[in-house]
Amino acid sequence: MTLFVSFLLVLGICLSCVLAQSPNHSTNTTRQCDWNPAGPLHLSLHQKTCFLPYHPEKNLESSEPSPWTHRPVCTSPKTNSRYCAFVKDDFHGDSAVLILTSPETAAGDFGLIEDSDPRWLSPGSSSPPPQIPPYEVRKIPGKELGVVANSTIRAGEVIMRDYPNILQTVSTEVWEQIDPREALWVLEEGFVRLPREVQIRVFELARSTGGHVLEDVLHTNTFAASFNNVSHYGLFTNIARINHDCRPNAVTRYSPRTLALEVIAYRDIQPGEELSISYSPLNMLYADRQRTLQEWGFNCTCSLCSSASAVAVSDARRGRMQDIVSALNNKVFRSSPARMAELAEELDGILEEEGLSAQKGDFYDILARAYVDMGEVETGRRYALLAVEKLVHFAGYDDERTERARGLLGELGKVGGA
């Protein structure tokens, strides 16, 4: 399931560490990085080193493709933008990753793929998933394979943590300048350099569009991700096994610092219960969800979508929720603290009724800014703190929205986090 279509799911916080190599540059292949991957709240304790962007022609004489374990393969030099396959077999120890992107993007801080920066082990980092997975992959009637809990999973627990086996840029600057046939060749050449066991896992995933098998797998199973602050599709082969539900029992959160995608229990999950995530934004109306899911070739028949009466009630609530969000951004309502409080209470109730707790952080951030704008600083601070708490849990400690909410707390005199 491709989760790139997203509302409130914009990912990425880091500034890419890009520096083009001039023809007269020295033969040294490294340079000082210009960004701090730990973010502004964590001072850099040492200067990190970045590699210069890989140049297919200029780097031919080099016998060491470090930090990659294979020499990158690139499109021809006919255009300004190059598209290359970068492979690292020892990604996070026993995994491997194929990154399909521009040389400039790939030349960012290699701490992202080396897993060597101790600052990642910050107080905001989430707890690890259980050593023995509380789930197993099974045949699901009418769905082929799915993931089923084999022990009790409590709300808030990290069920699964996965790293990408393939990252593919979605940069229009790159795609508008390369020949699709060359791009497909780069994909194939990069893929055959992955370990055989990774190739097998990729080929075992679902397909939906026909055509070239690798393109089909990527279209059907990728999530939104970022790499060096550039949007990419990410193929996480383990999490891709989890099926869709419009009222899921789990949610995903992505870390641009570690490139990890985690699955978090949305509520308590009992043994024998299938794990589910939403392929579409959680707050969508029925018709919008169905249009979005058609992209993957299926009509949703979950318990919510299968009941006309349930759809009508849910759509009415979600429509009202959208009206409230619009009102909160209307200066007319911001002139009345009492009316603001009524809207906030109503919105909180709808989020609970619709099972949209994962979006509370975003709405609390809206409320915080609205109250601050109308001079209710203490109430704004209270909602800002709630926003950070919810966003840390559901979006991630280093998510862009979390940092923005944490920044508001800083402006209000209280820098906070988890």
Q: Is the pLDDT of residue 162 over 90?
A: yes
Output the pLDDT for position 64: 61
In the prediction, which pLDDT does 136 show? 97
Among residues of the chain, what percentage have pLDDT more than 70? 79
In the chain, the percentage of residues whose pLDDT exceeds 90 is 57
pLDDT band per the 50, 70, 90 thresholds, residue 126: low
Residue with tokens 């862009």: 400
Of residues 192 and 14, more confidently modeled: 192
For residue 72, give Cα distances in angstroms to 45, 62, 198, 248, 269: 31, 12, 18, 39, 44
Confidence check: pLDDT of 348 > 70: yes
Q: Which of 45-59, 227-241, 403-417 has the lowest mean pLDDT?
A: 45-59
Average pLDDT score over residue span 8-14: 33
- What is the C-alpha separation between 28 and 9, in angstroms, rounded? 39
Which residues are 50's β-sheet partners? 31
Is the pLDDT at 343 greater than 60, yes or no?
yes
More confident residue, 93 or 286: 286
Q: How many CB atoms lie within 10 A of CB 112?
A: 20
**pLDDT average, residue stretch 83-88:** 95
Amino acid letter, 84: C
Contact 266, 358 (CB under 8 A): yes
194-213 tens-digit pLDDT: 999 999 999 999 888 888 99
Phi-psi label, residue 108: left if phi above 0, alpha if psi -120 to 50, beta otherwise: beta
The arithmetic mean of pLDDT across residues 161-187, rounded, is: 93
Contact 58, 52 (CB under 8 A): no
Average pLDDT for residues 402-409, to the nearest whole number? 94
**74 and 84 Cβ atoms separated by less than 8 Å:** yes
pLDDT tens, residue by residue, 287-323: 999 998 887 777 888 999 999 999 999 999 999 999 9
Q: Does 54 have pLDDT greater than 70?
A: no
pLDDT for 17 beyond 50: no
Q: Which of 146-160, 167-181, 400-414 has the highest mean pLDDT?
A: 146-160
* pLDDT given at position 11: 32
Q: Which residue has the tokens 């960012």?
A: 108
> Residue 253 pairs with which residues in a beta bridge?
262
Quote the pLDDT of residue 50. Answer: 52
pLDDT at 270 over 50: yes
Instruction: List beta partners, residue 261.
Output: 162, 254
pLDDT of residue 1: 58
* The pLDDT of residue 342: 92
Task: Kindly state the average pLDDT of the residues 225-241.
Answer: 95
Tens-place pLDDT, residues 355-401: 999 999 999 999 999 999 888 999 999 999 999 999 999 999 989 99
Tokens of 68: 């990659």
Categorize the per-residue pLDDT at 414 as very low, low, confident or very high, splitting at 50, 70 and 90.
low
Output the pLDDT for position 22: 31
Half-sphere exposure (Cβ direction) of 407: Cα atoms closer than 13 Å: 9
Query: pTM of the prediction?
Result: 0.80
pLDDT at 38 over 70: no
